[in-house]
Homo-oligomer: A and B are copies of this chain.
Amino acid sequence: MFGYVSALEIFRFKGLSRSHEMTSHPIPVRAPVQKRSQRTYDRLAGAILAAANDGSLSTLTLPRLAQRAGVSTGAFYGRFASKEAAVRDVLDRQTTAFVSRLSLLGAQHRPGRDVRGWIAAVTREFDDHARAITSLVRVLITTGAALPASAAHSPALRREAAALLTEWGVVQARQSERRAGFVLELVEAMTRDAALSNRRVDHADIEMAALWYLSAP
């Protein structure tokens, strides 16, 4: 068994924060054990995303943000220590969901052995994700923090990609982790940089660069 899911589970339970080499202070994330708690979280996350997108997040006070979410200020503090912690948490969850999607993509493409198709799909996912989180990332940078968790640096995802490329015979086993890891970094960096610059990237070029890098002897 190749074990996509199990690798992902390890990644999840060992904590995404492991891959936050740029998180200066770990944010405790409470698991929503009750329905009401989950609803409160969803409302807060929705209000944070909406405020990030309309540009008001950096100036909104915490009570005002809670009001927009339709929850009490107390409920907000019950979930998060600060606005920054809330932003970081929403970003972390989006990244976790994103890593799951990438993992699923690998599983879906595995039987087809189509490296080009897989890289194209991975590039689209990275680009969509980078665009979706850009406004939150800006707010995070504002607080002095660095970029959010890098999916490309997730050890489980790198291992999965390396196993896929080895199985397909695209790279040699001894080079697979480095090659797979770098390709993920390349796609991530180019899509993040473009999203922060309000620019579009050419997927065809990214895919070509990734394929040729992988096929190098």
Q: What residues of B have a CB within 8 angstroms of the CB of A55 in the complex?
A: 144
Interface membership of A160, Cβ < 8 A: no
In the complex, 7 of the A-B residue pairs with CB atoms within 8 angstroms, ordered by the A residue number, are: A146-B196, A147-B196, A185-B190, A188-B193, A189-B193, A208-B216, A212-B212
Which of A188, A201, A209 has the most chain B CB atoms inside 10 A of its CB?
A209
A210 contacts across to B, CB distance below 8 A:
209
The smallest beta-carbon distance between A175 and chain B, in angstroms, is 11
New A-B pairs, 18, CB < 8 Å, besides A22-B198, A189-B194, A193-B193:
A21-B198, A22-B199, A138-B144, A142-B142, A146-B197, A147-B193, A147-B197, A182-B202, A186-B186, A186-B209, A190-B190, A205-B213, A209-B210, A209-B212, A212-B212, A212-B213, A212-B215, A212-B216
Beta-carbon contacts under 8 Å, A116-152 to B: 138, 141-142, 144, 146-147, 150
A158 interface residue, CB < 8 Å from B? no
Size class of the A contact interface (CB-based, 8 Å): 35 or more
- CA A131 to CA B59, docked complex, whole Å: 29
- Note all chain B residues with C-beta closer than 8 A to A213: 205, 208-209, 212-213
Number of copies: 2
Alpha-carbon separation in the docked complex, A213 to B86 (Å): 41
Query: Which of chain A's residues 24-40 have a Cβ closer than 8 Å to chain B?
Result: none
Q: Per-position contact with B for A39-80: 1 when CB-CB < 8 Å, else 0?
A: 000000000000000010010000000000000000000000
Residues on B with C-beta less than 8 A from A147 are 193, 196-197
The reply to whether B199 and A21 form a contact with Cβ atoms under 8 Å apart is: yes
On whether A21 and B142 interact (CB within 8 A), knowing A185-B190, A215-B212, the answer reads no
CA distance A188 to B193 in the complex (A): 9
* Chain B residues, Cβ within 8 Å of A209: 182, 186, 209-210, 212-213
Whether, in the assembled complex, A18 has its beta carbon less than 8 Å from a beta carbon of chain B, the answer is no
Rounded to whole Å, the gap between the CB of A186 and the closest CB of chain B is 6
